[in-house]
């Protein structure tokens, strides 16, 4: 670097590089770099840190403000927010944190972490720095999910729906729905799911359950079908409905398909059409309605076994405190029988309220 400076004495970038190695002359080298290039915001910031370490806070502040004067990108704003946090100047901290959020970098998590240190309150952070920029909102949602702040995520997610786009943001919003459902906040999950349908980000399917005839490949979300895979058991949506093959080596107790459904309290009838091939009576295949909060089975259907296509039904009641349920098609080996092998085809499902 010294040889480069000797050859190009006005090469300001060489003084900047040398300052990284020659710690005894850092201030002098950075000052020279700034004299040669007034618009070197990085030199302003590095020199400000030097003066701050020496206790010269007014000069450090001036240099950071100079950096912002010549460079309105993220780094000077972030540096000023950090400076005012260290100086315990909270109004200035939030002002510059908000300014940094207005021009988010590719990775803004450190800014959210900084705000979290000041106030581990998602509502305050949302109020102070969140704007309508989708790149900021999606990173903030990721931050809140990592902090397990699901209530805050439920409040923020609709902003991404309003300001983002389906191709970029649908996967994250489906993840949010799954996390809310897994956290037993089914009402918030259901509200966001219906917002997606209202905005046509997913097929606006009015049937219960969703994708009732298995006409589409399931979305990776709790409100569509989940089709677990096991050794010896494979399910797929086909032209005839949901087709499931049992080889006889599947687990003795497993889920074939399930999805979350949201129902108001009351009485309901579930109807379903199906047929089987090579599966005798007492199959152990049955539908279940499960309360997601208590994991209590509200009702079981009779075992599914019929060589011909038939319709069957099961009547159940939704109690007042169990509006979000899990509809599960399950297999459990019946005691005294071998594991089944053969095919099951479910062509349709439907849940309707009883009049």
Dmax (CA) for the chain in angstroms is: 92
DSSP calls for 298-325? EEEPPPP--SS-EEEEEEEEE-TT--EE
Sheet holding 266-277, edge to edge: 233-238, 241-247, 341-353, 266-277, 310-318
pLDDT one-digit tens code per residue, 258-310 = 999 999 999 999 999 999 999 988 889 999 999 988 888 999 999 999 999 99
Sequence spans of domains, the chain? 2-198, 233-353
Report the chain's terminal Cα–Cα distance, integer Å.
85
Region 153-167: mean pLDDT is 95
**What whole-number percentage of the chain has pLDDT above 90?**
74
The answer, yes or no, to whether residue 12 has pLDDT greater than 70, is no
The answer, yes or no, to whether residue 117 has pLDDT greater than 90, is yes
Identify the pLDDT of residue 310: 96
Region 317-323: mean pLDDT is 86
Asked whether the domain spanning 233-353 has the same topology as the one spanning 2-198, the reply is no
Identify the pLDDT of residue 121: 94
Return the CATH class of domain 233-353: mainly beta
pTM (2 d.p.) = 0.85
Domain 2-198 architecture: Alpha Horseshoe (1.25)
Give the chain's mean pLDDT: 91
The answer, yes or no, to whether residue 255 has pLDDT greater than 90, is yes
pLDDT one-digit tens code per residue, 187-223 = 899 999 999 999 999 999 888 999 999 999 999 999 9
């Amino acid at each position: 670097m010294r040889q480069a400076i000797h050859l190009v004495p006005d090469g300001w970038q060489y003084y900047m590089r040398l300052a990284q190695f020659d710690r005894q002359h850092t201030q002098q080298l950075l000052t020279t770099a700034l004299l040669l290039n007034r618009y070197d915001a990085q030199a302003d910031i590095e020199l400000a840190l030097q003066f701050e370490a020496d206790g010269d806070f007014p000069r450090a502040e001036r240099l950071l403000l100079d950096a912002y004067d010549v460079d309105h990108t993220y780094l000077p704003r972030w540096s000023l927010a950090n400076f005012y946090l260290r100086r315990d100047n909270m109004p200035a901290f939030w002002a510059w944190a908000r300014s940094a959020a207005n021009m988010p970098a590719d990775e803004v998590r450190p800014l959210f972490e900084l705000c979290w240190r000041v106030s581990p309150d998602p509502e305050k952070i949302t109020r102070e720095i969140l704007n309508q920029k989708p790149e900021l909102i999606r990173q903030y949602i990721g931050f809140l999910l990592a902090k397990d702040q699901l209530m805050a995520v439920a409040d923020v997610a609709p902003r991404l729906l309003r300001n983002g786009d389906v191709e970029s943001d649908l996967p994250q919003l489906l993840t949010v729905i799954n996390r809310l459902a897994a956290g037993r906040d089914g009402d918030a999950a259901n509200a966001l799911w219906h917002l997606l349908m209202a905005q046509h980000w997913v097929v606006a399917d009015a049937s219960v359950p969703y994708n009732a005839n298995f006409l589409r490949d399931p979305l990776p979300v709790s409100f569509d079908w989940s089709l677990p895979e096991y050794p010896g058991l494979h399910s797929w949506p086909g032209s005839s409905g949901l087709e499931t093959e049992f080889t006889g080596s599947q687990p003795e107790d497993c889920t074939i398909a399930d999805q979350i459904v949201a129902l108001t309290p009351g009485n309901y009838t579930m109807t379903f059409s199906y047929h089987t091939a090579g599966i005798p009576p007492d199959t152990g295949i049955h539908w279940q309605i499960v309360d997601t909060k208590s994991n209590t089975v509200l009702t079981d259907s009779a075992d599914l076994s019929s060589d011909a296509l038939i319709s069957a039904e099961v009547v159940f009641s939704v109690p007042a405190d169990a509006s979000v349920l899990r509809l599960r098609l399950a297999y459990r080996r019946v005691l005294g029988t071998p594991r089944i092998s053969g095919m099951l085809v479910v062509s349709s499902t439907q849940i309707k309220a009883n009049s």
